[in-house]
Amino acid sequence: MNDRDRAKQIVIEILRTAGKRLPSKTRIFKAFYFAHLFFAQRSPGFLSDWPVVKMRRGPGIMDGDRILEELVREGLVEVRTIHDPATGPFPAQEYVLKTEVMPDLDLNAVEAIRDAVTFVQNKSVSELTELTHEYSRSWNSANEIGDELNIYVDLVDDQEFAELQQSLKETESVYQSVFGAD
């Protein structure tokens, strides 16, 4: 399975776990991000190699709009306009899973996605945005919207991160002294 297909499988599992529907693309994007972090906390390896990028509301799926459009074109997902109390009088979009096909994901992946969906369902989009803006080191250190994030640094505590930064500076200094400045 290629990386894009794996990302689509994760989105399908997010929707399946959410009861086949999830209001707001932001919740899907955040569930994708958090699923990767939950997976990394308990399993070796990565949930997927699909990039997570800096978006205005926090970490999101690279080409997430296109991935969702592909799932719609393939007849796997439907987008409906709803009136969500969280958006007041403004119309909102709900993403609805239209298939019974089970994604090809192992138990660790399914558990990480379940935990991520539970986490995002209990928070408003504003709360998720605020949370990732406050705690996502990778999002805060990225320069531009669309920059790929190394989300796994978000799991490192501040002291360990400072130690890693210092070690990197020392390594760079040794490299410069051996090979000269470029």
* Residue 174: per-residue pLDDT: 78
Query: Would 180 be classed as within a structural domain?
Result: no
Query: Would 178 be classed as within a structural domain?
Result: no
Query: Would 110 be classed as within a structural domain?
Result: yes
Main-chain phi, psi angles of 77, to 5 degrees? -135, 145
Query: Would 53 be classed as within a structural domain?
Result: yes
- Residue 181 CA, distance from chain mean position: 37
Nearest partner of 51 among 39, 64, 41, judged by Cα: 64
Say if pTM beats, i.e. exceeds, 0.85: yes
Euclidean distance between CA atoms 10 and 73, whole angstroms: 17
User: What is the span of the domain harbouring residue 20?
Assistant: 3-151
Q: Number of folded domains in the chain?
A: 1
Is 104 a residue whose pLDDT tops 60?
yes
* Residue 148: per-residue pLDDT: 97
Is 11 a residue whose pLDDT tops 80?
yes
* Residue 168: per-residue pLDDT: 76
Query: Would 96 be classed as within a structural domain?
Result: yes
Q: Tell me the per-residue pLDDT of 151-182, one tens digit each, with 9 for 90 and over.
A: 999 998 877 767 777 777 778 877 887 887 65
Nearest partner of 76 among 92, 61, 98, 96, judged by Cα: 98
Query: Would 173 be classed as within a structural domain?
Result: no
Cβ atoms within 10 Å, residue 171: 10
Which has more confidence, 18 or 171? Answer: 18
Q: Tell me the per-residue pLDDT of 60-102, one tens digit each, with 9 for 90 and over.
A: 999 999 999 999 999 999 999 998 787 789 898 999 999 988 8
Query: Would 163 be classed as within a structural domain?
Result: no
Query: Would 30 be classed as within a structural domain?
Result: yes
Nearest partner of 50 among 149, 162, 180, judged by Cα: 149
